[in-house]
Each structure stands twice: as structure tokens, then as C-alpha cells.
Chain A
Amino acid sequence: MPITFLIKFLNTELLTHKELTMSNVYSAMVGSYPRPAGLAKLINRFNSGKISSEDLELGYEKYTYRLLKFLTKLNIDYFTDGMLRWDDIFNPLINYVDGVKVNGLYRFYENNFFFRAPQVVGKVRLMDDCPIPQWFKKSSEILESVIKELGIKSRPVLKPVLPGPLTLAINSLNERYSNMRELIGDYVFEVLTPLIKALRDLGAQVIEIHEPELTYGRVDPGLKCYVAGLLGRISYDLKIKLWIQTYFGSASNALECFKFISNNIVGIDLVASRDDYLNYIHNFSYYDSLAVGVYDSRSTVLERSRIIRWYVAKFLKLRIGNLFIANNAPMDFIPEVIAVKKLRRLSKFTKWLKSKVGGVAR
């Protein structure tokens, strides 16, 4: 039978190379998880004055617990707390930045999803009362209780998430800075650096930085490399691993810049790179860490393992130190029921892959 033969061929072709044992394989969830309907209702009730901030906080904790337990049980190795407290990748962070006003709604790239834009009216600087580090602390405590409850020995890694400086700057309405590099510099050193420091001090091992602008293709390469250089510098100076997550564009748009952050984890959107990935993936040979976004966070079509296997096999041959199998972008764009199915498939696939090629199993 031709199909059976093809499957056998794929399995053999993909799994017998010696190189396949070179990578440690991990499963990962990047970015947001769809805000559950029950939590959305609670937020509405809070906004209309029907419940107290304490009740809302209990709600956040309940839904964070539910999500972290689900991800831990799935054996996902690296995940975020779903960004359940965030409205988009900029909010509420920009509420806690001096020099920034929260402006009107703007489209988030090519999605039917909108964000409130940062309007830069003064020198930007992080305010002292920014709660993001405390939210990470709270999520870490919840994860701790989940681990205890489930009796898990090997610990998953919880990643706090921040917007990248380029993405922040390009999506800002800049009325203060005369040039973009100056604004980016202040976002890096006055806003993100103190946050990253605080998160590191609270135990974050990896911080996920969302930089869709690196690959989206509307910024000149010089500026992208400048930003990548800054991110590399922060990582080095603060002795913290960054997970630079790109999406909505082919990784081929940022290959030059990735060199500046190659000691970190580079996240690429393979769904957006489907047409040209074979032309560029050799650039990732011998990378320390690469996260391949193969599960499409913008489609309800469920990925077939066979196809995922086909894509992933190409990366396994590149002798990448740590290969992360992940979703390609934030998951706000799909219903929760689909996100659950995709994460289950991601977990199952990675578990199978680890059994074939090694990797750190939990």
C-alpha cells in the first residue's frame, strides 16, 4: 500500500540518522493561552463593580492553577502562565511606564485582534509599582503547589513574558523621541532591564521576550540587528537566558540578527516560514537552542503528527543543542478548546520524539 509505505519510509528516513541523537528535545508553550470564559466573566464583573479586587485575584489564581496543572500533567517542559492577566503583549505593562499614555485601539499585525497602543509623550521609565514581578512570583508559587500535589520530580520551567523593545517601539505612537534608537534604548534600559532584573531575582531561569517585529519584515535590518545586539547584551550583563520569540514572519527575515542572540533561545514561527524554511534552516546548525513553532496558534486545523515529524526531522539534523517543539505564536487567536487539543498533540508528539532521539524526559 503506497500510504503505508510512505509512512514506513518517513519513519525510517527520519529516525535512523545518527545526528538525531545530538539534540535534547523539549516541549514548550509560548505566549498567551486563551483567556478562559469563566475568567473573562469575572473580569467583566469586576469592571462593572460587582465583585471586589480580592475576588478577582482569587479568580486569577484559580485559573492560573488550573492551567499550570494542565500543562504540568501534559509534561510540557517550558511554559508561561498563559498571560491570563494581560490584555495583549503591551497591556497592562504600559500602564506602569512613566512617559507613556495608553492610546486607542490598533490592529495587532494581520489579526482580528487589537491592542491599546503606547503613546510616548515623555521619557520612558518603569514605575516602581509595576506588579509584573509579583505576578510571576504568584504563578511560581502556584506551580510549586501543583508540582507538590502531582508528585512531579523533574520540574517544568515557568517563563515570564515581556514585549521586546523593537516591537514595543514600532507599535508605539512616538511623540517624544527624535529617533527610534533612542526610544528603543530607553525601553531596553529604563523599562525592560529593571523588570528582567526583578524577575531574575525572583527565580526566573528564562524570560520570554516577544519580538514579532524581528521577522515581520517592515523594519530595516540595521535596526533589527541593533536591537538583537541590545538583547544579547542584557542577557550577558544580567546573566539570564532570554527566549526571543518571533512570529508572523519568516525567520529568513532576521537571520543576520539572530547571530547576536544565538546564546539565548531563539523562537521561530515555522508556520509563517513554510514556503522558504528549507532555504535557510542550515543557518541554525550548531545553535545552542532553537524553539520551532510548528503548532499553528491561528488555525483550528489540528496538526498531524506525520507532518510535524517531517518538519522537525529537518531541524534534528542540524545538531542544535536544545530543540524546543512549540506553538508558533500567542494562542489568543484560537478558542480554548482548540488550544487544549493542540497542546495535547504537542505533548504527545514530543514525548514520542524524546523516546526516539533522547532529550530530557520529565
Chain B
Amino acid sequence: MISLPILPTTVIGSYPRPKWFREIIKGYKNGRYGEELLKEASDDAVVSVISDQEEVGIDIPSDGEMRRDEMVEYFAERIEGFRFYGPVRVWGNNFFRKPAVVSKITYIRPIVVDEYLFLRRHSSRPVVKVTITGPYTIADWSFNEYYNSKEELAFELAKVIGTEIKKLEEVGSLFVQVDEPALTTHPKEMDWAVQAINKAVEGVNIKVGLHVCYSNYSLLKPYFDELRVTQFALEFANRGFRDLEVVKGLSKELGFGVIDVHSRVVEEPEYVAKALFKIMEYLSPEYIYVNPDCGLKLLPRSIAKAKLRAMVEGVMIVRRELAKKGLTEIPLRNKV
């Protein structure tokens, strides 16, 4: 059984790309650099951001999603059946290349297995996190020009995502996070959306978390038990820690979002600690992980790192209090 410090600290997934890496990507896109250099730079960037996370004390790092431009795009580029028309706005001045499904969805080859293996080799931590975009979100964030319904598309994607998660399990991954930020977007679709996620994790025996952000959690709550995952990673800092009561009675783990990823103001450790004491009124500390609200990639790297440092320092304040009660460790749970 693998143990983790109580209130394990982790990230949701993405982390700012180092500036030099962005320059190389730009050079690659305009033909100045080749594949080989890009691969070398990507590897170096992953090593750099693992180091950032471990240096500030993150217990469960990710590879910062260095190789991914965007969470749906990346998968759509590697699954047969998609094409791209151009960028679409998500908020403010932020865009993504929203894919369109134009033919049958087909699994071609492993998508993130190499990412995991590289991360595993370069992290000193016993557990690392791999993120994978969920079938419902890929379906919802794509234009559907091929399937009769979004439901049909989501279940086709569930097969593909399920295959990928099993491949991750085969090579030794311990913790996969399925990202489903779109899950509550269309309340009428939630019944089958939850089934599509369950289909994707069917037969999986490793820890699976589910990340849902910027959403109406009261819509998610009725599905907490039904969803076959161990953990829900939710965003709370952005909403000023409103809606905490939604996790009351949660029988699974919570990945508690304590860092606002859309603000450049670095939180104080005491602010993080206060939020943690608050959430512990609703949930036992043995079932709480601590993370930012969402991926950090839109922040400057120095701010992202400072925010993670503040988060870890805030956790330390609470850990000291919990240690007085003899609470210092929790097991890595595959099932709750």
C-alpha cells in the first residue's frame, strides 16, 4: 500500500510552458526547427516543470501538459475522425481550435502513455498524475458533423478513452485524472454523460479522479455515488469558497481547489489554510487532496510557481494541526 502525506498536494494538470520552450514551439511551427529539436525541448520542458513542482513541495506532480496545446485539441489530433476549421473563443481573449467530427471515431495508437512513462522516469515522487480529457467533454467541445447525436459520439469516444486508460494501467500508472469540465453544461444530458464516463473507466483498477470546474456543482452532486471514480477535483477559489456545502456527505475524496488560476495575485498561505479549515467542517481531512482550481498554464511561470508554493505552505499550517491529532498519512486509494 502506498502512503501519502495527509492532505496530499497536487496540480490539476497544466503548467505554464517555459518561455524558451514557447520560442522553440514557435520556431518549429514556422519551420525553423525540426521534430527532433522539438522533442528534445519538450522533454527538457517537462523536466523543468517537474522540478518546479517538486521544489515547492508538491506531492503528486504532473508533466504540466507541456506537449499539449489544449486539452481537447490534443486528443482530437490523435484520434481518427476529427478535422479543424480554426480557433474559437473560450473566454476573454483566449481561444482553442475546436475540432469537428467528420468521420467515424477510431483509436489509432496510445495518446498519453509516453507522456506518463517520461514523467515517471523523471519524478522523484512515488505517485504522479496523468490527465486525460473525458469523452463527454471531447464530444461537447467538438462540432458534430457525423454522428446522429452527441450521445452516440460520446459513447464512441468513451471506448477510445477507456482503451487509453487501460494502456496507462498496463504500464504502471497509479493515478489518472479524467477531465470533464463540460459535464454539467447541459443538465438534460447528464444521465448519459455520467454513463459515458463510467464506460470509459469500466474495468480500470487504478485510482481515477474526475476534474470538473466552473460548473454548477449542485447538478453534479446527485451523481457523486454513481460515478465510478475515487476522487472529485473541484474548483472553489474562483467562487470565493461559496457552495462548499455541496460536498457534505461526499463518500469519496475531494480534490479541493484553493488557488484561483485566473488571477495573478498570489494567495497567502494563511488564506489557503483558512479555506482548508473551512472545508474540514464538511469532510474528513483523510479524504481531502489539495490542488489549484484548474490548470495553471495561463499564468506566468513565476506566478504559477509562487502560487503552488503558497498552497503547499498553507497545507503545512494545517498539517501541523492535524499532526497533533495523530493524522499524518493517508493511503493511496483505488477504491472508496
- Interface residues of chain A, those whose CB is within 8 Å of chain B, are 34-35, 37, 40, 43-44, 47, 87-88, 91, 104-107, 110-116, 299-301, 332-338
Contact = CB atoms under 8 A, between A and B. Distances in A.
B86 A335 contact: yes
B109 interface: no
B93 A114 contact: no
Interface centre among A105, A107, A301 (most CB of B within 10 A): A105
A107 B239 CA distance: 12
B193 to A, nearest CB: 12
B242 to A, nearest CB: 9
A116 B88 contact: no
| Majority DSSP secondary structure for residues of B touching A | loop
Contacts of B95: 35, 37, 40
Top 3 closest A-B pairs, CB basis?
A: A335-B86, A114-B91, A300-B143
A333 B214 CA distance: 18
B85 A114 contact: no
Contact of B185 (A40, A43, A111, A301): A111
Interface in B93-132: 93, 95, 98, 100
B85 A110 contact: no
A105 B238 contact: yes
A44 B239 contact: no
B245 interface: no
Given A43-B93, A104-B262, A332-B89, A110 B214 contact: no
B88 A106 contact: no
A88 B91 contact: yes
A27 B216 CA distance: 37
B151 to A, nearest CB: 15
A87 B85 contact: no
Contacts of B140: 112
A254 B89 CA distance: 29
B89 A34 contact: yes
A112 B141 contact: yes
A106 B242 CA distance: 13
A32 to B, nearest CB: 9
B88 A332 contact: yes
Contacts of A335: 85-88, 98
A104 B239 contact: yes
Contacts of B98: 112, 335
B324 interface: no
B69 interface: no
Contacts of B143: 299-301, 334
A34 B88 contact: yes
Nearest to B72: A112
B88 A110 contact: no
Contacts of B240: 104
Given A87-B93, A301-B143, 7 more contacts: A37-B87, A37-B95, A43-B93, A107-B215, A110-B186, A113-B89, A338-B86
B260 interface: yes
B92 interface: yes
A91 B240 CA distance: 20
Contacts of B215: 107
A35 B89 CA distance: 8
6 contacts: A44-B93, A88-B91, A105-B238, A113-B91, A334-B88, A337-B85
A338 B143 CA distance: 12
B204 to A, nearest CB: 26
Contact of A105 (B91, B141, B216): B91
B93 A105 contact: no
Given A116-B92, A300-B85, A337-B85, A104 B260 contact: yes
B182 interface: yes
B23 interface: no
Contacts of B2: none
A110 B89 CA distance: 15
Interface in B254-289: 260, 262
A115 B140 CA distance: 18
A87 B94 CA distance: 9
B93 A40 contact: yes
A115 B91 CA distance: 6
A337 B140 CA distance: 20
A11 to B, nearest CB: 27
A44 B215 CA distance: 27
B145 interface: yes
B90 interface: yes
A119 to B, nearest CB: 9
A114 B214 contact: yes
Contacts of B214: 105-107, 114
A246 B262 CA distance: 30
A92 to B, nearest CB: 10
Contacts of A300: 85, 100, 143, 145
A114 B260 CA distance: 15
Interface in B125-154: 140-141, 143, 145
Contacts of A116: 91-92
Contacts of B239: 104
Nearest to B293: A104
A104 B85 contact: no
